Chain A
């Protein structure tokens, strides 16, 4: 027994010393649920950054990094919590890329990440409520708050001369947060909101919801929902009944599936999702294509950036302990320092090892504002004859 104790103490000492180790990062997104078509490309994005760092052999004395996937289900907070609990206690992760949706992310943060002191960087949880949440400095996101998206949507619609809008949102933290921030911004800009109505996901028939929206009327229908769920049902119902011809699609609706499902029927409609223009994005898209997946898929590039930020912060802090490296994330993300694009993570690690500073730009032109979220650049999209075209970046 004594020998065993000594041996384990010795092993603990060795493990504690700075040396090559196996670092595990959780990749927790909704592989099942209302955004399941986006999740695989997000996980692949994060894993591409992880592989890039791991293969370079430059992180913390040649440590390897392994991704551990977890399914947040996007809607079931209890399932997401249990999954995160497993990642933390059984897999012993040092940080987490996730969660995907706002409600589930809040639950995981409060029930698992904070008690265990794990850093979470969400690529896609956008609820304004996450800005003000008390997070012990553990929560970050590479996507902007929906308060910002509400402003961007208002700008786009005002420029297009749209004066009245009906709003339907998916009945959860994401939908409600976005609908409220948009309604506030749109009315402040002088527009009229005819109705703000929740819809539930997973129903067979949305004709009743569409009827209520149609009764309220408006120039356009804002669908703050999910493409693989009720959002698509609402659009289908509205098109069938001839209730609305024009739609505005926020980030939850943007995806190849939208074009596949509705094609030319939504010609003239528009939307926006987070994505920056520039060299970083182009590089990322080329890397994704080379790796065999679609980098334009929503939040894929944000996932890459989230994983890169965690790993570069570990390097900057000289430790894979979340309590230590959490303080470095904002430094790595922002100026001053050498600008780092996707595919240059090895270069960044060298600079850090040489005592220099980096300013991670990444695929989405990362610029973090307090308390740890992306300032947010959006791309405005327009649908024409079954194609999704980028109009401009904001």
Chain B
């Protein structure tokens, strides 16, 4: 029984939250890695593209709700997602037309594109706040729990509760579908193959008749789709606040770099590595240990590596360690 309690505690506070957070980071990192691999620059506007995509989705969600459309028990936002993606795709294509294409035509160094993306980040940031404001917004209207902590305790008779929110399940399921679809697209379709060719060797791809503008446009559309999905899942699971997405930029980049920039599998692995380390390093294992050791061995103080306030420091630390010892990331990506 004690052993079960320890496992339930670990599931409730570490494994479930870290898995859904990891899936959100993985999707975010996938977008960064895609842009980096094909367009060859680190897109700093990524976090704010997520925020914009989520804001657009929320606006459509409100519209659907006022029309009385609902897919209960699932949140209405899932129905609004395709529209959010369309709006975001239009925005990023417009940005590409207005900003990035100019530098691409001039064959500017990647660092110039990076700096341009910082500018885009600020503009998008303002745009999002203009569209929806700076307040915290809850837009999850579906059934909240798959497993409720109190009911779980009552049903199993365990001392520890287990909570599984429906948004966490939706996050994981959607992430799996998106990743599968992306890999199928990159590996099986003609456009996907031409994107990979363009990523591997731009000149050779051009020589074999691949239209670069089409590759760029498709890349942006896919990135917009993944970004909006990642942002909406994050917002559903936690809550929407424009500023939080900006803060998400660090763990997302850490995930992409740890996994190896430009490598999609690396981005996914990186997302989970960062999420699990953030949660596990700041978790206080006292309760878990208390269930596993004999009574009088139970420690009175916390068994915690870092206080929760240092959560962000974890992704920084992992980032630096990886850059020092394995600059190309865990899965061979391009060096930064």
Q: Is A387 an interface residue (CB 8 A)?
A: no
Instruction: Write the chain A residue with the least CB distance to B21.
Output: A205
Known: A198-B309, A241-B13, A242-B163. A208 touches B238 (CB 8 A): no
B149 touches A216 (CB 8 A): no
B residues contacting the other copy or chain, number (CB 8 A): 38
Q: Is A111 an interface residue (CB 8 A)?
A: no
Q: Is A209 an interface residue (CB 8 A)?
A: yes
A317→B46 CA distance, assembly (Å):
61
A125→B145 CA distance, assembly (Å):
39
B308 touches A212 (CB 8 A): yes
Chain A residues with Cβ below 8 Å from B239 are 204, 233
CB distance from B101 to the nearest CB of A (A): 33
A151→B71 CA distance, assembly (Å):
50
A228→B13 CA distance, assembly (Å):
24
Instruction: Write the chain A residue with the least CB distance to B311.
Output: A208
Chain A residues with Cβ below 8 Å from B17 are 205, 207, 211
* Contact residue among B150, B244, B302 (Cβ-Cβ distance under 8 Å from A204): B244
Known: A205-B21, A241-B149. A212 touches B304 (CB 8 A): yes
A315→B88 CA distance, assembly (Å):
61
Q: Is A278 an interface residue (CB 8 A)?
A: no
B309 touches A211 (CB 8 A): no
* Contact residue among B149, B241, B308, B309 (Cβ-Cβ distance under 8 Å from A242): B149
Q: Is B104 an interface residue (CB 8 A)?
A: no
* Contact residue among B163, B234, B244, B307 (Cβ-Cβ distance under 8 Å from A241): B163
A216→B283 CA distance, assembly (Å):
11
A204 touches B163 (CB 8 A): no
* Contact residue among B153, B161, B308 (Cβ-Cβ distance under 8 Å from A209): B308
Instruction: Write the chain B residue with the least CB distance to A245.
Output: B150
B284 touches A217 (CB 8 A): no
* Contact residue among A204, A207, A233, A242 (Cβ-Cβ distance under 8 Å from B161): A242
A202 touches B311 (CB 8 A): no
Instruction: Write the chain A residue with the least CB distance to B235.
Output: A204
A214→B243 CA distance, assembly (Å):
28
CB distance from B13 to the nearest CB of A (A): 4
Q: Is B174 an interface residue (CB 8 A)?
A: no
Report which residue of B150, B284, B311 has the largest number of chain A beta carbons within 10 angstroms of its beta carbon: B284
A240 touches B21 (CB 8 A): no
Chain B residues with Cβ below 8 Å from A207 are 13, 17, 279
A211 touches B283 (CB 8 A): yes
Q: Is B335 an interface residue (CB 8 A)?
A: no
* B141-157 vs A, Cβ < 8 Å mask (1 yes, 0 no): 00001001110110000
* Contact residue among A202, A208, A216, A228 (Cβ-Cβ distance under 8 Å from B286): A216
* Contact residue among B145, B163, B248, B283 (Cβ-Cβ distance under 8 Å from A208): B283
Q: Is A91 an interface residue (CB 8 A)?
A: no
Q: Is B189 an interface residue (CB 8 A)?
A: no
Instruction: Write the chain B residue with the least CB distance to A209.
Output: B308
A215 touches B287 (CB 8 A): yes
* A213-241 vs B, Cβ < 8 Å mask (1 yes, 0 no): 01111000000000010000100000011
B282 touches A208 (CB 8 A): yes
Q: Is B62 an interface residue (CB 8 A)?
A: no
Q: Is A256 an interface residue (CB 8 A)?
A: no
Q: For residues 223 through 239 of chain B, which have their beta carbon under 8 Å from a beta carbon of chain A?
A: 234, 238-239
Instruction: Write the chain A residue with the least CB distance to B282.
Output: A208
Known: A198-B309, A202-B243, A217-B287. A211 touches B21 (CB 8 A): no
CB distance from B111 to the nearest CB of A (A): 30
Q: Is B65 an interface residue (CB 8 A)?
A: no
B153 touches A242 (CB 8 A): yes
Q: Is B7 an interface residue (CB 8 A)?
A: no
A204 touches B238 (CB 8 A): yes
Chain A residues with Cβ below 8 Å from B243 are 202
CB distance from A187 to the nearest CB of B (A): 15
Chain B residues with Cβ below 8 Å from A199 are 308
Q: Is A197 an interface residue (CB 8 A)?
A: yes
Chain A residues with Cβ below 8 Å from B145 are 240
A208→B243 CA distance, assembly (Å):
19
B165 touches A215 (CB 8 A): no
A200 touches B302 (CB 8 A): no
Q: Is A203 an interface residue (CB 8 A)?
A: yes
A240→B302 CA distance, assembly (Å):
22
Chain B residues with Cβ below 8 Å from A202 are 241, 243-244
Chain B residues with Cβ below 8 Å from A208 are 278-279, 282-283, 308, 311
Known: A205-B21, A241-B12. A212 touches B287 (CB 8 A): no
Instruction: Write the chain B residue with the least CB distance to A236.
Output: B239
Q: For residues 301 through 332 of chain B, which have their beta carbon under 8 Å from a beta carbon of chain A?
A: 302, 304, 307-309, 311
A202→B239 CA distance, assembly (Å):
11
Known: A211-B13, A240-B165. A204 touches B279 (CB 8 A): no
* Contact residue among B13, B152, B309 (Cβ-Cβ distance under 8 Å from A214): B13
A203→B278 CA distance, assembly (Å):
14
Chain A residues with Cβ below 8 Å from B238 are 204-205
CB distance from B54 to the nearest CB of A (A): 12
B161 touches A241 (CB 8 A): yes
Known: A215-B284, A215-B302. A240 touches B13 (CB 8 A): no
Q: Is B108 an interface residue (CB 8 A)?
A: no
Known: A203-B244, A242-B12. A212 touches B282 (CB 8 A): yes
B241 touches A214 (CB 8 A): no
CB distance from A53 to the nearest CB of B (A): 35
A213→B212 CA distance, assembly (Å):
54
Q: List 9 A-B contacts (CB under 8 A).
A: A197-B308, A210-B13, A212-B307, A228-B136, A240-B149, A241-B13, A242-B148, A242-B150, A242-B161
Known: A211-B282, A240-B163. 18 other contacts (CB 8 A): A197-B307, A199-B308, A205-B21, A207-B279, A208-B308, A209-B308, A212-B282, A212-B308, A215-B284, A215-B285, A215-B304, A233-B239, A240-B149, A241-B13, A241-B161, A242-B149, A242-B152, A242-B161
